[in-house]
Amino acid sequence: MTVQGKFTILPEGTVTTPKGFTAGGLHCGLKKTERHDLGAIVCEVPASAAGVYTLNAFQAAPLRVTQESIAAGGKLQAMIVNSGNANACTGQQGEADARAMRAAAAEALGVAEHHVGVTSTGVIGELLPMAKVLGGIAKLPQRVKADGGDDFCQAILTTDLVQKMTCVRLSVNGKAVHIAGAAKGSGMIHPNMATMLGFITTDAEIESEYLQLLLSRVTDNTFNMITVDGDTSTNDMVVVMASGLANNEALHPEHPDWEAFAAGFQYVGEYLAKAIARDGEGATKLIEVSVKGAETDNAARAIAKTVIGSSLVKSACFGADANWGRIIAAVGRSGQRVNPDTVDIRLGDIAVLEQSRPVKFDEEKAAEYLKGDTVNIHIDLHMSAGQATGWGCDLTYDYVRINAAYRT
């Protein structure tokens, strides 16, 4: 148990730690292995809900169905998810299949159909084998339980090597409030709201409009600041459900504990985003790019994502090559205004550029630093107060191997 300012991190927490939530997963036959490929999060009451979705023009059918459910009243009571098949670019049949999943889950779990969200992840352009999916949904009620967070996390994975989840506890009006999250993502990661899915649960009392406000803000600073390969998926989505069972006074931006809740929410989003970046396909290290001194925060975001998305920067980090020229080149092509005479760059604590001029540094020391499992690149533009941080990973031989045979 770790305390970080306004909240406490619960290492053993899962998406079922907040009051009112259960979860589970099972193997229904979508994957060739026996790993879980169908899961659900269920709340005992209709929960306030909010979501953010991919900006890819080819938005997968399940996302449209989930948006429709949330729009019906700002509530969700269950999220049903499958892995192994994205149900994307599947036309009218794909949309009918997503709706059939929603209807089947509603019946099996005993909740209203418009209180069910649906999402899928996996191969694009293949119809779901609905007999297997519907058969699995019928069995889900027996697998959804209070300690089912791990099974749910397994059910959402594709090429991921590790499960990604976290949980925090804080006080709101003297009541214990929890915020938990689970995510999947390893490749096709470059969100604009990669193949990225995120699920956040909380027992806080909060209306959907304020939940959406907070989710959108946190997404801009976390999930939208990661990149693995520059590809934005058809299925990216983050959904949050708030049961309200902590019995606190309803949260809103003027509430005295709003900032504490927002800090906990930010931590959950950032933890999951960094976990996705660290688990990038074939990755050996997490790369964090911090930019300050930009004209605006948006400019800093664009610069950070350009640097972290550069194949040359990523390759240099993989090879432990302190080639700062690749970094400054990425800054210069970011499309943002910079002063070419005032840029500083550090690799960890090692200065390699000051006021846009090379600094003598120990190449062996820099190479040793770059061999670590986390690389921090610091960029100071010395122009104004804009700042942002982005996360990504190195580009390795294994990334090509994994994606050269993704369907097989």
- With tokens 């804080």, the residue in question is 170
CA–CA separation, 22 vs 92, rounded Å? 32
Q: Which residues, including other chains, have CB under 8 Å from residue 109's CB and lie 6 or more apart? A: 40, 42, 77, 78, 116, 140, 141, 144
| C-alpha 113: how far from chain center | 26
Cross-strand bridge partners of residue 134: none
Residue with tokens 């090879």: 319
Residues identified as active-site = 195
Give the E-state strand segments of 6-115 in sequence order.
7-9, 21-26, 38-53, 75-85
Token digits of residue 271: 């933890």
Cβ distance 158 to 83 under 8 Å? yes
Residue 183 has a CB neighbour count (10 Å cut-off) of 26
SS3 category, 364: helix
User: For the CA atoms of 369, 226, 5, 43, what is the dihedral angle to 10 degrees?
Assistant: -140
Q: Quick check: 327 and 308 in contact, CB under 8 A?
A: no
* Amino acid in position 136: G
Handedness of CA 98, 111, 137, 223 (dihedral sign): positive
